[in-house]
Each structure stands twice: as C-alpha cells, then as structure tokens.
Amino acid sequence: MIEPDFEDRLVEAIQPIRQLAVANAIHQLHDSGLYASLADPGGIPVDELATRHSMLADRLSGFLRYLRNEGYVTVAADRWTLSKKARRLEPFLPWYTLLVGGYASTFTQIQDTLRTPGGYASRDGGKVGRGSCGISMFDALPLARTLIDATGAADVTVVDVGCGDGSFLAELCASHPGVFGVGLEPDAGGFALAERTVAERSLEGRLEVRHHGATDLRPDTVPAGRPVVFMAAFVLQEVLEQAGEEAVLAILRSSVEAHPDAHWVVIEVDHRPEDQELMGNGLGLAYYNPYYLLHTVTEQRLETRSYWEGLFARAGLEVVRLAHPDPRVDSTSLELGYLLRRCRGETAR
C-alpha cells in the first residue's frame, strides 16, 4: 500500500541525487569555459555559444535548460547568461574543481577500495592540483605568506615540493617581490599545467618548475645565493602513505643537512573526523567530512597535529610558529601551518 505522503518522502530522499547532478553540472559549466562565455550580462545565442566551444547545439540547449531549471542561467530572446545565483559561485569554483573534477571518480570506487587490500581509488591529479591551488588562494597562500615573512628574510628561494599547477607558487612570487620560486611536481598532468602557468605569468627569472617529486630533492634543486624555504602544502600526507614515514623523515632531514639555515613551511590538515562538534555543522560537514572520506580511500594519509609535531621533532626540526587560516575563511582551525627550522634549542611557538 502506497502511503499518502510517498511522493513527499521520495522528493526528500533523492535530494542527494539531485545535488550530485547539480555539482557535476556546475563543474562542467566552469571547466568547459561555458561559465566565462555566459558571464556577459548581454547574453549569447546558443548557436554562437556552441560554435565557440565546439559543441553540439541541440545537446548544449538541453544542458542550458537543465541549468535554467536549477536557477543557474537565464534566457531572454534566445540569449543565455549566468544568473545572479551562478555569478555568486565564482570565488568557490575551485572547490568544484577539486572535489568534483579531481575526486568524483574516487567516490564511485569506495566499495571496491574497501574490499581491496593495498588498493586505492584513482583521481585526476591535474584537477586535484588545480583545485587545491585555487582553494589555497583563500587559505593556504595567505598562511604561507605570513610564515615566510616570519623568517625575516628579504629575498628568499621557495622550493615548493609538489607545486600542482604552479598557480600557488606563481601567486606567491607575484605578490612577494623578494620570493623566487622553484616548483617540483611529480604528476604529469599537474606538471603540464605548471609549465603553462609559468609561460602565462610575467615572472621570468623568478619562477621555474621541474618534473620530479619530493623524494627527488637533489643539491642542485636550490639555486645558490639566497636564504631557502622549503614548502610542502598538503604534500607530506601523500609521501607518508606512498613511501612511508622514513621517506618523510629523510626529505626533512636531508634538506636541512644540505641547507642548515633553511626553513620549512609545512601546511597540513589535522585529522579529527571523530570530533562531532566540528563534523556536525558548517564547514566541517560541508567540506572536511567528504575530504576525510576521500583520504580514506586514496593514496594519502592524514594525521593529527600531535603526530606531525612529533615527526618534526624526530626529523630534528623545531616549530618556530604555528598558524591557521583567517577564521573568516575557515574557523575550524583544522588547517595547520608550520614554520620549521633545524633545532637550535627550546622550541618557540
């Protein structure tokens, strides 16, 4: 027997399916370049839009109708444009690049990964890097600037270990006249994007990228003549799972043995999925809960603040400063920013 409120309960029950489609549509809208073309307030005819993006007009029309029904585009006299709702999304599109573009396929592999000893879910490394760098403009980049300034060096070479698409390091160099950048990226897709970033930015002589990873640090990685800051933003978690704790310790130790006066800037995430207060509302539920989930099944290992600080101590590093992102961006304090140096006595915090 079908109860009178069946349809109401059905609508409520399948909202996650609706949001799955919406999230993918928003990512595709942005990733395809359609978002930028539709930003013109005067609108654009569907045929012109299809030609500009080498798309089939009839299928594009169906996609636009879907977006109109969800409130993300409007149409008048066959001219399509973004709605106010869609325009308000612009600062937050990197989260879609990361979690939908980079990790959508990851979530479809959860069941298989839970059954496969030693197996991991795949991801799109290029989009993970691009999305992560985009998000970092709001949280990790200001954090890195603060920590680099705390070294007191006027001119510094920043070696970004795992630079993604290079935009994080490029922005750091562009906004900080005394920063010279060397980006290391092991993922082929991420490295290709990083090369493009270098080519597009007017930072000749101040930024270069190389196609290798954190475990490939060599003496010639760092140009001579300036103080050195090694930087790893959300990268040590990868090395930890893929190569083990000893590999992380070796990277940290070898870098400061070769450059005794160097600093490290490490940005990681405190692993607190059991903290019900944080996970139950706000950014904890909207971002960190799925972030923790995808790290459970991919080749990355999140750890607690106490773990990282113990590991730094074993590597012979002391914490000069611990900082968090601006609470207007992220009030959880789950993102940890460390400025480290070779132990010289009592740790200052």
How does pLDDT run across 267-277, given as a tens digit for each residue? Answer: 999 999 999 99
The pLDDT value given to residue 217: 67
Provide mean pLDDT across the span 127-137. Answer: 90
Q: For 234-247, how does the pLDDT look when each residue is reduced to its tens digit (9 = 90+)? A: 999 999 999 999 99
Same domain, 203 and 316: yes
pTM value is 0.90
Same domain, 253 and 150: yes
Same domain, 172 and 294: yes
Residue 1, in any domain of the structure: no
**Measured between alpha carbons, how far is 161 from 230 in angstroms, rounded to an integer?**
7
The pLDDT value given to residue 28: 98
Rounded to 5 degrees, what are φ and ψ at 76? -145, 125
Provide mean pLDDT across the span 29-45. Answer: 97
The pLDDT value given to residue 201: 84
Same domain, 63 and 99: no
- Of the three residues 88, 106, 137, the one that is the final residue of a domain is 88
Between 349 and 198, the higher pLDDT residue: 198
Same domain, 42 and 63: yes
The pLDDT value given to residue 324: 97
Between 176 and 41, the higher pLDDT residue: 41
CATH of residue 161's domain is: 3.40.50.150
**Secondary structure E strands in the chain:** 44-45, 73-76, 79-82, 156-161, 179-184, 207-210, 228-233, 263-269, 317-323, 335-342
- Of the three residues 88, 103, 138, the one that is the final residue of a domain is 88
pLDDT surpasses 80 at 347: no
Sole residue written with tokens 């006595």 = 345
The pLDDT value given to residue 349: 33
**Measured between alpha carbons, how far is 295 from 113 in angstroms, rounded to an integer?**
12
Strand order in the sheet with 73-76: 44-45, 79-82, 73-76
The pLDDT value given to residue 249: 96
CATH of residue 84's domain is: 1.10.10.10
The pLDDT value given to residue 199: 86
Lowest mean pLDDT among 22-26, 36-40, 185-189, 289-293: 185-189
pLDDT surpasses 90 at 345: no
With CA atoms as reference, report the closest residue to 321 among 336, 340, 307: 340
pLDDT surpasses 80 at 219: no
Residue 145, in any domain of the structure: yes
Same domain, 79 and 148: no
**Measured between alpha carbons, how far is 88 from 101 in angstroms, rounded to an integer?**
20
Residue 347, in any domain of the structure: no
The pLDDT value given to residue 220: 66
Residue 103, in any domain of the structure: yes
**Could you give the number of structural domains in the chain?**
2
Same domain, 228 and 317: yes
Provide mean pLDDT across the span 258-268. Answer: 94
- Of the three residues 55, 71, 88, the one that is the final residue of a domain is 88
Q: 68: domain range? A: 6-88
Provide mean pLDDT across the span 65-80. Answer: 97
Residue 205 pLDDT class (50, 70, 90 cuts)? confident
The pLDDT value given to residue 62: 98
The pLDDT value given to residue 125: 86
pLDDT surpasses 70 at 314: yes
Residue 315, in any domain of the structure: yes
pLDDT surpasses 50 at 326: yes
Q: Which pair of structure tokens corresponds to residue 240?
A: 């930890």
pLDDT surpasses 60 at 206: yes
The pLDDT value given to residue 218: 65
Same domain, 30 and 142: no
What single DSSP character describes residue 99?
A: I
Provide mean pLDDT across the span 72-90. Answer: 97
Residue 349, in any domain of the structure: no
**Measured between alpha carbons, how far is 180 from 312 in angstroms, rounded to an integer?**
25
Q: For 98-112, how does the pLDDT look when each residue is reduced to its tens digit (9 = 90+)? A: 999 999 999 999 999
The pLDDT value given to residue 329: 97
Same domain, 105 and 36: no
Mean per-residue pLDDT of the chain: 92
Same domain, 252 and 275: yes
Residue 119's alpha-carbon distances to 2, 110, 112, 271, in angstroms, are: 43, 11, 9, 21
Sole residue written with tokens 């403009």 = 137
Strand partners, 318: 341
Q: Residue 261 is which amino acid?
A: D
Q: For 146-199, how does the pLDDT look when each residue is reduced to its tens digit (9 = 90+)? A: 999 999 988 999 999 988 888 889 999 988 888 999 999 888 888 888 888 888
Provide mean pLDDT across the span 322-349. Answer: 86
133-166 exposure pattern, b = at least 16 Cβ within 10 A, e = fewer? bbbbebbbbbbbbbbbeebebeebbbbbbbbbbb
Share of the chain above pLDDT 70, in %: 97
